[in-house]
Amino acid sequence: MATFAQEKDKHLPAGNSDFAAKKYADAEAQYRISKSKTPKNAIASYNLGNAIYRQNSIAESKTAFRKAIESTNDRAQKHSAFHNLGNALMKEKDYSQAVEAYKNALRNDPSDEQTRYNYALAKKMLKENPPKKDDKKDDKKDKDKKDDKNKDKDKNKDDKNKDKDKDKKDDKKDGDKDQKDKGKNDKPQGQSQPKPGGISKERLQNLMDAVNNEEKKVQDKVNAKKVKGQPVQTEKDW
């Protein structure tokens, strides 16, 4: 997977060097630092997506590619970001969205044959694996019919138990209170839904180690020689 380069940014070329050495966690750390200094930097977002993709965090890489797309008006950069977004979607077997991503990539560079091949492949996979139909409406209709049939039965049952329930009114109130309290206490504390594309503990530790050492590493590289940026390329995995 290729990387963009940008002048006057120590972290971006350092990340490119780490990426070329297949040290993807270190590259990710450098790109994140670069991106934090210039949040609207499409190049840092794109390279970050590539580094994350290489660590098999596909869902998270999509976020970075989309950020790159939003942050640039450059057609070449948009093409590359859409292409790699399509690659990520293909990995997830989301063929419908992959088709759209490759289509957008071609809109920004109609001459790219690899993107055109991926586009054709995504359409083929979508045709062979169509999205499942939404049966929720039919299920709702069936449920409504069952509810209507049960209304009369429930009404008769309620009439028969009316007197019996009246005698146990006080006990029922106490029971209801206990059930509500139980429901509150049974709810787990301090839990939340996992965020899409969350960073694993192992990768997070790698990032922390890379960030802690990056200043010295980058300074040594800068003192040794001026790091030159890499030319714009696009990975073609498919």
Per-residue pLDDT tens for 176-196? 444 333 333 333 333 333 333
Say if residue 117's pLDDT is above 70: yes
10, 214 contact by CB (below 8 A): no
Say if residue 49's pLDDT is above 70: yes
Using pLDDT thresholds of 50, 70 and 90, give the confidence band for residue 3: low
Q: List the domains of the chain with CATH numbers.
A: 1-57+203-228 (no CATH), 76-130 (1.25.40)
Say if residue 6's pLDDT is above 70: no
